[in-house]
Structure 1
Amino acid sequence: MFERIAELTIRRARWVLALTVVAVVAMGALGAGAFSTLLGGGYDDPSSESSRATKVLDEKFGGETNLILLVRAADGRVDAPDARDRGTALVRELRGERDLENVVSYWDTGSSDLRSRDGREAVVLANVKGEDKELEENSEKIIDAYGGTYGKGEGEGNGDGAALTVRVGGGASVSADMGSQTEKDLVLAESIAVPLILLLLLVVFGTVVAALLPLAIAVIAIVGVFAELYVLGSVTDVSIIAINLTTALGLGLGVDYALLMISRFREQLASGATVEDAVRKTMSTAGRTVAFSAATVAAALAALMVFPQYFLRSFGYAGVGVVAVSAVSTLLVMPALLTVLGHRINSGRMPWYRPGRTSTRTPLWGRLARTVMRRPALTALPVLAVLLLAASPLLGITFSTPDERVLPEDAESRQVTETLREDFNGSEDGALHVVFDEPVGERALAPYAARLSGLDGVLRVEASTGVHSDGNTTATDPGNPALGRPDGQQLTVVSSLTPKSDAAKDLVEKVRTAPAPAGAEPLVGGADAELVDSNDSIAAELPLAVTLIAVSTFVLLFLFTGSVVQPLRALVLNLISLGATVGVMTWMFQDGHLSSALGFTPQPMETSMTVLMFCIAFGLSMDYEVFVTSRIKELHELGEDNESAVANGLGHTGRIVSAAALLIAVSFFAFGTSEISFMQMFGLGSGLAILIDAIAVRGVLVPAAMRLLGRSAWYAPGFLRAFHARFGLSESGPEQDPVPAPSAPYAKDSAGV
């Protein structure tokens, strides 16, 4: 197949490039609309109890509070006549907004819970209508219209000083801030990553033309996946954060695969091959490796699609798309570019470039492998000890879902939430919502609400029957009739507990297990309930995702190596390196080390991002596993002993793996500049995982394991050996080259990439 693709691109190179330009323009026009279709959120399981509770709230009670206006009286208390008049006018305007419902304020109810303890601030609660993108757009309109100063210079006898200051918070505002911050972070990350990658490519290749080609593949991949996300976002829910993965992975894999192809092509030219023959050999060797390396990464990312949260599924869509477009463009566009450019690929030489030095052979990596294999235990044990020490924070890992704390401290929505927690008697923004989707009588509802109010940590329970606290009904507050309907009831459980803490999660379970009115089934929702349900649903699907990754990896590596031991060795080593990576991220982002330097607020690990980081890092580590192991296997089959095959295999692939790892790590590290803490964690963690894999695993643990395993490293039962002989894969394709002379263990072999 690869030979046929090579012949096609050689004969029709200019046509392939012309069609590529047309396709990129078309995909660019389509992908330009991606931002308008992608959504925030997506962390919840739509079939969970909390999601069903939210649906009942939306259908019967006008939705739960997702927008909070924190109103401050500039000259005194909110009870002052002037502040009350302006506050009442503000509420009247809000109720006139067609995109808002359930507008409730301190000036309507007189509830002390909606007024700060110092009397200078009051709260207006509301629900922004709409779902998904419509909700985001409506929220942004309300925030733009009412945030800032209200009533300045209006009204008879009112001076500027009497104006109200309005700050906007709540879930809808947090989502809006996260969306806008994501776009800013993306621009900053690209402005850092692209120049750095180009500079590194110039160092690696030594010529301008060769350095620009990987970026061309990366651009095709990114534009293509933007178009894919636009189409998918038009028919299903797709998270806007998938844009960040698209750019990071698109840059990384585009460079990764192009690096492999260009290095092989230049090596063939340096050996005296014609341009056409160099393209053919490149496709039959490096092209084959690109195709099946892409399959390993795609298999790991495809596992994300088993999760019910569209936040995680979105990364599956984007990740598989990036891998597919990167691989296809590398296999179709790159050979056409190489054919047209020919020897001009070495144009634009840098001062350090030396013509003829294009071999990927790196004696340093070969010598390192031989040193490790002479004393495998002595060299591997310290590396294993460091990795296991790095993984030790996993013993205390906890998980959460994103809230306002992932935003920078100067984000208005975060400041509002913090003020509500510090200066008010419990915030309804973090309350639990208990709803009944059937009639419940007052006689049954009141005792139930009173029981809930007696639970540890509960400040009050608001219901249509009254406000309940400490197991009793507050005689002075008749309750909110809007919380009751003939066909349903709603209770708001306000607690003093820190949101998403262990105590808050325990409260969710206590409320869910509290005896309910006879014949009624309460549904418990709210932020803490969503966290519990999200973690439970991810935990339920995680075994399936891990199984899919492990099985697909095992099959692909067996097809490359013909061994059942090599896939197991790769899985074990990758799990160790990934454990170290997640452990370091836990030490930083949960335990708070380096938080002041990086500017984030320590909190439990974000569940979805941790799963995503694991899948991304695992897929990329398998990418390098294929690069290295396929070469070792090839040399082993050509007659080299195990030690020589490993040393020469690493000698030929070490430079490519290390350069590719550094380049792809840069694209992820750029997201360490993000103002959203879970994006910082994802970027730094993914980049660290790649470097650990390229240096510690490929450089030390792989040769040590191969030496300790000896000939058993290539073991497979007889029937599987027969299967591999017929269907197995190798980088060299159908033709085998002669065995290198034993006296020159680092001599360039003709199959080298």
Structure 2
Amino acid sequence: MKSLTRLVTKYRKITVLAWVALAIGISLISQSMGTSYSDSNSLPNSESKIAQELMASSQGQGSGSGSGFGSGTGSSVQIVFGSKDNVKLTAADIDPVLAKLSQLSYVSEAKSPFEINSRSVSADGTVAYSQITLNASGRDLPRGAIKELISQGQSFESSHLQIAFSGDSVARASQTMVSSSEGIALLAAALVLLITFGSITATVIPLLVAVLSLVILTASVALVSHAITTAQFAPTLASLMGLGVGIDYALFIVTRFRQELHAGKSVPDSIAKSLLTSGRSVLFAGVTVCISILGLISVGISSLRGVAVAAALSVLISMAAAVTLLPALLGIVGHNIDKFSLPGRRSKTHEIESGRWAKWAKAIQNKPWRVAIISMLTLLIISVPATSIRLGTADAGTNAQGTTTRSSYDLIAKGFGAGFSGPLTVVASIPTGADLSPLSSLSDSMKADSDVAEVMPAMVSADQKVVTLIVYPKSSPQSAETSDLIDRLREETIPTAIGDSSIKVYVGGSTATSKDFASALSSKLPVFMGAVILLSFMLLMFVFRSLFIPLKAAAMNMLSIGAAFGVIVAIFQWGWESSITSIETGPIEPMVPMMLFAILFGLSMDYEVFLVSRIQEEYLISGDNSAAVRRGMAATGGVITAAATIMFFVFSAFIFGGERIIKELAVGLSAAIVFDATVIRSALVPALMQLWGKANWWLPNFLNKRLPKIRIEE
């Protein structure tokens, strides 16, 4: 670390220019290559995947989905017509709309629902739908094409006619632009930094580091999308984490730099001390975060790999900028760090023994048992809703009222039934010469199921080897009833009807795919959690030469994460205060528990390492555990609170825009940061460290001799 410090301070201008050149270069490369994001929840060897492959390989059958609702994947968009006055729709209502849309340069076909088949119009004639075929897909469409399509179509609405659109392209176009969330986050962070530092110069430096890191991060994630499967929400998640972590890391180091300057040290010595203390903490915290996040790769699910790499890149780039770009900027600014100070703030220096954090720490030390018990009970109570968590992929029924995708969903549900938006595809593989009578029995059994609305006539492939039955549930795709229906078909109905026949039957479709994906993630979560906890435990044991510190850290993180899960379930699944998220209740996205655990377990280590490192630093000086806890708390309490406040505002800014999974992650992260910085770091951790005394720093001799000594000072 000393060598790195000398290098970046000696060549500070070159270091800054190198970062700027990197940002410009990688951005140009990224723009020339574009992006290749894709969403896929399918799993190899899952029943739904086998069904999908059978349908795709069958001759002359196509997808056989039967419904078409919500199937717009970028090459098509669904348009839904509804009667506002319950008067039947006619061709005269619909044809002018489709004729107008057909004139758009990127529309290749727009057939009237009256020309397609009778199932495109509801039984009462008040709802109809059609597919608009586009001549390009996804990002190959002209900028603003989908918004123009929606605007042109809805211009025909009247007191009689309602028009709505659905499909993946429509969903993406309807989302709030992520850049607005980033702007709000930066503005909030700037305000907190200004209040914390009382200096405009000190405020600007962390923001410059964060913005430059964000530019590099955005381009890097785009490039990664060409190499591995990367979900559409990955760049948003990376931005969310990059801003929060980047500003926090810079805050820690700048705070220590100013403390050293105010203590009378020179600029080079202040930078060196800052990196050897706060910089060291940043490195260890960053490595721990990356270990947690990259653990997602070990799960073996392809759709998680790109997300994990994007999130890890956000931490790695922020960490690298904090220990290279930031000290270079501090070397350039030097004593001017306090320039343009707010009135009455410049003269203030850090107050270790007499400040409010020292008094708060002393109050905790006077009654550590009471503080520890109350803190743990509080977090456990907040965690209770997490025990009823239900995983599943939410459909458009959870979108905000008034959005075109939600209107489309509601119209289809009204005209054709809630299950029409997520039909199940029951696909049979037929060996040569097999008796097909069991399939008739299966069709009858499914029709008799109380949760089935309709079973369509069997579709047979041209080679007679695949038979597909489209099953429409009575309930919506995200409902527990539909999930139970899939289980019942697989475990009871199909085995009973098929018996010992050589026919193999699989339940597929988007709803079944989502269910299989959720089940796979749930089954892997315990092992993943155990691996992350073990690796983090070992890393902290190496760093602090202690058994209690890593054990306490793991337990505290689990409490924080449990409380965050409780908040997510209460808001998104139970509907408590759901108005703040602009969406309605539904299941929790399958990726959220695993991703939230990985991210939070790592991020929580930031504050743990920063606080405990300072306590250890004081303990090595005095040998007095109580004094070390008190002084460490007093020295870091303010900056941890400021860092947590920044994280909270950054994460909260992403609640009001983007995909549902981003909203859930943003709520969970925001809640966890609040619990971590207030209940855990400000109360529970100092209380427990007071109770354990010198045992905090105990490590058996046989371990102390065998464990590698990690030294990054040199």
Letter in 2 for 1:51: K
Residues in 2 aligned to 1:162 and 1:275: alpha-carbon distance in whole angstroms: 71
Aligned residue number for residue 377 of structure 1: 369
* Structure 2 residue corresponding to 1:120, chosen from 113, 118, 126: 126
Residues in 2 aligned to 1:447 and 1:698: alpha-carbon distance in whole angstroms: 62
How far the C-alpha of 1:192 sits from its partner, in A, is 1.6
Aligned residue number for residue 196 of structure 1: 188
- Please list, as runs of the form range in 1=range in 2, the aligned pairs for 1:634-673 lying within 5 A after superposition: 634-673=617-656
SS of residue paired to 1:70: strand
Matched, 1:503 2:486: no
Letter in 1 for 2:358: G
Instruction: Check whether the contact 1:14–1:336 (CA below 8 A) recurs between aligned residues.
Output: yes
Matched, 1:327 2:319: yes
Residues in 2 aligned to 1:145 and 1:190: alpha-carbon distance in whole angstroms: 28
* Structure 2 residue corresponding to 1:168, chosen from 152, 158, 165: 165
Instruction: Check whether the contact 1:559–1:729 (CA below 8 A) recurs between aligned residues.
Output: no
Matched, 1:62 2:65: no
* Structure 1 residue corresponding to 2:179, chosen from 187, 212, 215: 187
Residues in 2 aligned to 1:105 and 1:483: alpha-carbon distance in whole angstroms: 25
SS of residue paired to 2:654: helix
How far the C-alpha of 1:220 sits from its partner, in A, is 2.4
Residues in 1 aligned to 2:184 and 2:147: alpha-carbon distance in whole angstroms: 31
SS of residue paired to 1:688: helix
Aligned residue number for residue 471 of structure 1: none
Residues in 2 aligned to 1:134 and 1:193: alpha-carbon distance in whole angstroms: 28
How far the C-alpha of 1:463 sits from its partner, in A, is 2.8
Aligned residue number for residue 457 of structure 2: 463
Residues in 2 aligned to 1:272 and 1:607: alpha-carbon distance in whole angstroms: 53
User: Which runs of 5 or more residues in structure 2 are unaligned?
Assistant: 73-77
Letter in 1 for 2:19: T
How far the C-alpha of 1:150 sits from its partner, in A, is 10
Residue deviations 1:70-122, cap 9 Å, x none? Answer: 2457999668575698899999999x98799xx995644434xx432432322
Relative distance call for 1:555 and 1:671 in structure 2 (3 A) is: same
Residues in 1 aligned to 2:264 and 2:375: alpha-carbon distance in whole angstroms: 42
Relative distance call for 1:598 and 1:537 in structure 2 (3 A) is: closer
Relative distance call for 1:661 and 1:415 in structure 2 (3 A) is: same
How far the C-alpha of 1:667 sits from its partner, in A, is 0.6
Matched, 1:277 2:280: no
Residues in 2 aligned to 1:622 and 1:683: alpha-carbon distance in whole angstroms: 18
SS of residue paired to 2:655: helix
Letter in 1 for 2:473: S
Residues in 2 aligned to 1:574 and 1:392: alpha-carbon distance in whole angstroms: 16
Aligned residue number for residue 610 of structure 1: 593
Relative distance call for 1:445 and 1:504 in structure 2 (3 A) is: same
Residue deviations 1:164-199, cap 9 Å, x none? Answer: 865333xxx1x32442344x3412212321112112
Aligned residue number for residue 331 of structure 2: 339
How far the C-alpha of 1:363 sits from its partner, in A, is 2.8
Relative distance call for 1:309 and 1:352 in structure 2 (3 A) is: farther
Aligned residue number for residue 25 of structure 1: 24
Relative distance call for 1:76 and 1:318 in structure 2 (3 A) is: closer
Instruction: Check whether the contact 2:249–2:282 (CA below 8 A) recurs between aligned residues.
Output: yes
Letter in 1 for 2:118: G
Aligned residue number for residue 470 of structure 2: 492
How far the C-alpha of 1:215 sits from its partner, in A, is 0.9
Instruction: Check whether the contact 2:83–2:160 (CA below 8 A) recurs between aligned residues.
Output: yes
Relative distance call for 1:231 and 1:219 in structure 2 (3 A) is: same
Aligned residue number for residue 570 of structure 2: 587
Matched, 1:693 2:706: no
Which piece of structure 1 moves more, 270-279 or 256-265?
270-279
Q: Percent identity among equivalent residues?
A: 25
Instruction: Check whether the contact 2:79–2:163 (CA below 8 A) recurs between aligned residues.
Output: yes
Letter in 1 for 2:484: D
Relative distance call for 1:570 and 1:85 in structure 2 (3 A) is: closer
Aligned residue number for residue 75 of structure 2: none
Aligned residue number for residue 662 of structure 2: 679
Letter in 1 for 2:173: S
Residue deviations 1:411-444, cap 9 Å, x none? Answer: 2222122222222256533110012344566544
Letter in 1 for 2:487: E
- Please list, as runs of the form range in 1=range in 2, the aligned pairs for 1:215-294 lying within 5 A after superposition: 215-294=207-286
Instruction: Check whether the contact 2:452–2:472 (CA below 8 A) recurs between aligned residues.
Output: yes
Instruction: Check whether the contact 2:198–2:342 (CA below 8 A) recurs between aligned residues.
Output: yes
Residue deviations 1:694-726, cap 9 Å, x none? Answer: 1111111112212222333323221212235x5
Relative distance call for 1:520 and 1:309 in structure 2 (3 A) is: same
Instruction: Check whether the contact 1:17–1:333 (CA below 8 A) recurs between aligned residues.
Output: yes
Instruction: Check whether the contact 1:298–1:619 (CA below 8 A) recurs between aligned residues.
Output: yes
How far the C-alpha of 1:656 sits from its partner, in A, is 1.8
Letter in 1 for 2:584: T
Residue-pair matches, total: 694
Aligned residue number for residue 742 of structure 1: none
Instruction: Check whether the contact 2:225–2:306 (CA below 8 A) recurs between aligned residues.
Output: no
Residues in 1 aligned to 2:6 and 2:699: alpha-carbon distance in whole angstroms: 36
Instruction: Check whether the contact 2:47–2:508 (CA below 8 A) recurs between aligned residues.
Output: yes
Residues in 2 aligned to 1:706 and 1:403: alpha-carbon distance in whole angstroms: 47
Relative distance call for 1:681 and 1:3 in structure 2 (3 A) is: same
Letter in 2 for 1:727: K
How far the C-alpha of 1:138 sits from its partner, in A, is 11
Aligned residue number for residue 557 of structure 2: 574
SS of residue paired to 1:268: helix
Aligned residue number for residue 512 of structure 1: 490
Relative distance call for 1:546 and 1:693 in structure 2 (3 A) is: same
Matched, 1:435 2:427: yes
Residues in 2 aligned to 1:542 and 1:299: alpha-carbon distance in whole angstroms: 16
Instruction: Check whether the contact 1:82–1:162 (CA below 8 A) recurs between aligned residues.
Output: no
Relative distance call for 1:675 and 1:142 in structure 2 (3 A) is: closer
Which piece of structure 1 moves more, 22-31 or 43-52?
43-52
Which piece of structure 1 moves more, 332-341 or 706-715?
706-715
Find the structure with the greater CA-based Rg: 1
Instruction: Check whether the contact 1:609–1:678 (CA below 8 A) recurs between aligned residues.
Output: yes
Instruction: Check whether the contact 1:430–1:528 (CA below 8 A) recurs between aligned residues.
Output: yes
TM-score by structure 2 length? 0.88
